[in-house]
Structure 1
Amino acid sequence: MADVGTLRIDHSPAQERYEAILVSDSFGEDEVVGYLDYVSEPYQVVLTHTVVREQYSGHGYAGQLVRFVLEDIRASGKQVVPVCSYVQRFIERHPEFADMAVPVPQ
């Protein structure tokens, strides 16, 4: 679990999912705004799908989620296979993560 501003990222290895949770300021409920699914393999992590609920799109939550996931995977020493098109575009725009990406099998 990590806090990124008002966004908290929870990792559930058993579900192979990272969830982006908008933390309530006061008495409201915390709300899941999106998630990133993956498949863990011995030397790499296949990033399969990123979703942000429609009412939360355009707030930068997907980018914060993907950045957190990539940093978390980098710390594990694994590479990533960016099957998800959003993750592919994110890595193209953030070359600091390019060294950990391997080509997607065709």
Structure 2
Amino acid sequence: MRPSDTEPSPAAADLEDQAEPSELSTFGDSGGEVLPPTSLVSTGSAGAVRVLHHAAERFYELLEDGVSVGMLIYETSPGHSSITHAMVRADRRGRGLGATLISTALDHLAATGAPVRVHCATVAGFLQRFPEYTDRVQPTGHRGPR
């Protein structure tokens, strides 16, 4: 658990889970397909942002200036994909990085033609804030952040 003085404000964390940095990938530039990030939300002082797709490991990784700062994990089943978790490092929240990661992953997964299901409160919250992305997912009943 992190001390309360380092927890993000509710406004800064509404698109990103409360994951600790140690839970994030350390893959960095070690591979994965580079995807053009969707510039949905201004990232303010964010540096160079890239999204990598690690297909064999079934996750998307968000890099800022070459440093791994977030990931979105999904599973595949016959006929569909399911997003299970999304996170951004606590020290990088509140600048739209989570929205960039989620929108890029949704665009990429939806392009496969298979339905995408959401089982992650963070992604469900994103869909509430950006309803134009709901056409990329199959309803599952997940209602967003608690």
Q: TM-score, normalised by structure 1?
A: 0.84
Is 1:33 the counterpart of 2:69? The answer is yes
Q: Deviation of residue 33 (structure 1)? A: 0.5
* TM superposition outliers: structure 1 runs of 4+ over 4 Å: none
Q: Deviation of residue 45 (structure 1)? A: 1.1
Q: Deviation of residue 80 (structure 1)? A: 1.4
> 1:2 aligns to what?
35
Q: Deviation of residue 97 (structure 1)? A: 2.1
Is 1:84 the counterpart of 2:120? The answer is yes
Aligned-residue CA RMSD (Å)? 1.8
CA contact (8 A) 2:107 2:136 kept: no
Q: TM-score, normalised by structure 2?
A: 0.63
2:57 aligned to 3, 8, 15, which one? 15
Alignment partners' CA distance in 1, 2:95 and 2:130: 18
CA contact (8 A) 1:78 1:100 kept: no
What are the superposed Cα offsets for residues 43-94 of structure 1, whole Å, 9 maximum, x if unpaired?
2111000010111111111100000001001211122111110111111222
How many residues end up aligned between the 2 structures? 100
Q: Which runs of no fewer than 5 residues in structure 2 stay unpaired?
A: 1-33, 40-47
Percent identity of equivalent pairs: 29
Instruction: In structure 2, give the amino acid aligned to 1:18.
Output: Y
> 2:27 aligns to what?
none
Q: Which runs of no fewer than 5 residues in structure 1 stay unpaired?
A: 24-29
CA contact (8 A) 1:2 1:8 kept: yes
